[in-house]
Amino acid sequence: MTEPAPVPAPPVPSAPVLPALVPIVRAAMRSRCPRCADGPLFAGMTAFAPHCRACGLDFRQFNVGDGPAAFLILVVGGIITALAVILQIKAEPPFWVHVLLWVPLTTIAVVACLRVSKAALLILEYRNQAREGRIAPEEATRQ
Whether 68 is covered by a domain: the verdict is: yes
Residue 108 lies in a domain: yes
Q: Examine residue 140 and state whether it is found in any structural domain, yes or no.
A: no
Q: What is the pLDDT of residue 3?
A: 61
Helix (H, G, I), strand (E, B) or coil at 125: helix
- Asked whether residue 8 carries a pLDDT value surpassing 80, the answer given is no
Q: What is the pLDDT of residues 15-43, one digit of tens each?
A: 444 455 568 888 899 999 999 888 899 99
Looking at residue 65, its pLDDT comes to: 87
Q: 89-140, pLDDT tens digit by residue? A: 999 999 999 999 999 999 999 988 999 999 999 999 998 888 777 666 666 5
pLDDT at 63: 86
Angle at 102 between CA 99 and CA 104, to 5 degrees: 95
pLDDT over 90, % of the chain: 55
What residues have CB less than 8 Å from 68, skipping those under 6 apart?
114, 117, 118, 120, 121
Number of domains within the chain:
1
Cα distances from 53 to residues 34, 79, 119, in angstroms, run 12, 37, 16
**What is the sign of the dihedral through the CA atoms of 123, 129, 132 and 133?**
negative
3-state SS class at 69:
helix
| Amino acid making up residue 72 | L
**pLDDT value, residue 2:** 63
Main-chain phi, psi angles of 90, to 5 degrees: -75, -45
Model confidence pLDDT, tens digit, residues 63-91:
888 889 999 999 999 999 999 999 999 99
User: What pLDDT score was predicted for residue 111?
Assistant: 87
Give the distance, in angstroms, between the CA of residue 93 and the centroid of all CA atoms in the same chain: 38
Q: Are 66 and 117 in contact (CB under 8 A)?
A: no
Q: Give backbone dihedrals phi and psi of 53, rounded to 5 degrees, phi first.
A: -70, -20
For residue 47, give its domain range: 24-131
- Is the predicted pLDDT of residue 1 greater than 80, yes or no? no
pLDDT at 25: 86
